[in-house]
């Protein structure tokens, strides 16, 4: 938009007004969606977190901060925080590493859109289906992947092993998401001028040096976005845990408390234990945590600046 000049205030005002007039009809549909599906439920969730809401009876009384006070002493909540943090760490690490690898490989080796589509394939399968399939594939008695691994001396109970369950779920979600993440990073790679690599090659830089000195620094804004998206996604892991750790004779969040991530605990409190108030309090804490993490991530990674300028 042209900067309004001081001697034409009337025109500038008109221009601004006209812009909004045109924008509103386009914004309205998504604004209504945002209002109905995000804003109002979030406000209601925050309200519920200050009540002892009973989902069955659909009523509750104001209890102030009691739900939050209870969280502080709730060992299951802190366990959920620990388990989720461990999952997020493993998942982000492996997913980002694999995604960068795939994206760089795609960028340097092929321009085929068929291969790009194939890499996306796992992402197109619904989470619940992925979980159900891996329950079979990784069953230590029946599963073919479990059999394959045991040939190499890796024996585990996967979903039924207290120490194995979170790495297993992190691995599955890495497999499902890395193609999608790789495509995002790939798009970022496309913005890096090829001349830089040519210059690097002329100077005799190795692949690894070019990766470290050219690719990663110039990819930073995209990586920041990818990290924020995957981080938020990882904190919200739910369906894989809910479906896969139930297995055939276990229960979601099991074995024991080993995979009861925050979202599973939220679900359990609201829909199994009928304590929607406490459940909402945890959801609010999670919301605030994610907002803070996202803020710092964007700040620290200077996501709004590019070194290409």
257 binds other proteins (CB under 8 A): yes
Given 48, 100, 160, 218, the residue binding other proteins (CB under 8 A)? 160
Note the residue count of the chain. Answer: 309
Instruction: Examine residue 221 and tell whether it contacts other proteins (CB under 8 A).
Output: no
Q: Among 8, 132, 216, 308, which residue sits at the site for other proteins (rule: CB under 8 A)?
A: 132
Residue closer to other proteins (CB basis): 29 or 249? 249
Q: Applying CB under 8 A, does 243 fall inside the site for other proteins?
A: yes
Helix (H) or strand (E) holding 72: helix 66-72
45 binds other proteins (CB under 8 A): no
Assess contact for 210 and 197: CB atoms under 8 A.
Answer: yes
State which of residues 68, 85, 86, 157 lies at the interface with other proteins (CB under 8 A): 157
Alpha-carbon distance 275 to 166, whole Å? 26
Stretch that binds other proteins, among 3-11, 12-20, 138-146, 183-191 (CB under 8 A): 138-146
Q: Shortest distance, CB of residue 113 to other proteins, whole angstroms? A: 14
Residue 201 in contact with other proteins, rule: CB under 8 A: no
CA distance 261 to 237: 7
Shortest separation between residue 239's beta carbon and other proteins, angstroms: 9
Closer residue to other proteins in complex, CB, 175/197: 175
Closest to other proteins by CB, 78 vs 271, is 271
Helix 165-190 to helix 127-137 angle (10° resolution) is: 130
Among 12, 45, 54, 238, binds other proteins (CB under 8 A): 54
Phi, psi values for residue 59, rounded to 5°: -150, 165
- Cβ contacts of 127 within 8 Å, gap of 6 or more: 176, 239, 240, 243
- The span of 13-21, 32-40, 101-109, 285-293 binding other proteins (CB under 8 A) equals 101-109
Half-sphere exposure (CA, 13 Å, Cβ side) for 90? 19
Q: Which is nearer to other proteins, 224 or 237 (CB)?
A: 237
Contacts of 263 (CB under 8 A, 6+ apart): 236, 237, 238, 241
- Residue 72 interacting with other proteins (CB under 8 A): no
Q: Of 184, 166, 164, nearest to 82 (Cα)?
A: 166
**Sites for other proteins among residues 174-193 (CB under 8 A):** 175, 179
301 vs 99: CA distance, rounded Å: 18
Taking a C-beta distance cutoff of 8 angstroms, is the pair 13, 5 a contact? no
Residues that bind other proteins (CB under 8 A): 54-58, 76, 102, 105, 109, 115, 118-119, 121-122, 125, 128-130, 132-133, 135-136, 139-142, 157, 159-162, 175, 179, 207, 242-243, 245-252, 254-257, 267-268, 271-274
């Amino acid at each position: 938009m042209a900067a309004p000049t001081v001697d034409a205030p009337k025109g500038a005002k008109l221009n601004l007004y006209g812009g909004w007039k045109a924008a509103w009809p386009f914004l309205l549909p998504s604004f209504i969606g945002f209002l109905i599906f995000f804003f109002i439920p979030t406000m209601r969730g925050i309200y519920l977190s200050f009540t002892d809401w009973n989902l069955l009876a659909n009523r509750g009384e104001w209890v102030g901060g009691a739900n939050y006070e209870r969280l502080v002493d709730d060992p299951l909540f802190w366990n959920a925080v620990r388990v989720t943090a461990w999952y997020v760490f493993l998942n982000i690490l492996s997913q980002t590493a694999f995604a960068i690898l795939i994206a760089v490989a795609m960028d340097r080796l092929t321009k085929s859109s068929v291969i790009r589509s194939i890499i996306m394939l796992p992402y197109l399968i619904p989470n619940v289906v992925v979980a159900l399939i891996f329950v079979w594939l990784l069953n230590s008695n029946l599963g073919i992947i479990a059999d394959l691994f045991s040939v190499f001396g890796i024996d585990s109970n996967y979903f039924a092993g207290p120490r194995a369950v979170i790495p297993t779920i992190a691995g599955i979600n890495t497999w499902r998401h890395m193609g999608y993440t790789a495509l995002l990073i790939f798009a970022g790679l496309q913005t890096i001028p090829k001349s830089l690599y040519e210059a690097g090659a002329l100077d005799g830089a190795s692949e690894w040096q070019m990766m470290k000195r050219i690719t990663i620094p110039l990819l930073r804004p995209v990586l920041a976005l990818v990290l924020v998206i995957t981080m938020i996604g990882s904190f919200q892991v739910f369906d894989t845990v809910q479906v896969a750790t139930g297995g055939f004779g276990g229960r979601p969040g099991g074995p024991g408390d080993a995979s009861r991530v925050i979202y599973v605990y939220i679900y359990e409190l609201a829909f199994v234990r009928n304590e929607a108030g406490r459940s909402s309090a945890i959801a609010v804490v999670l919301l605030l945590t994610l907002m803070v993490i996202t803020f710092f991530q964007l700040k620290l990674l200077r996501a709004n600046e590019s070194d290409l300028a």
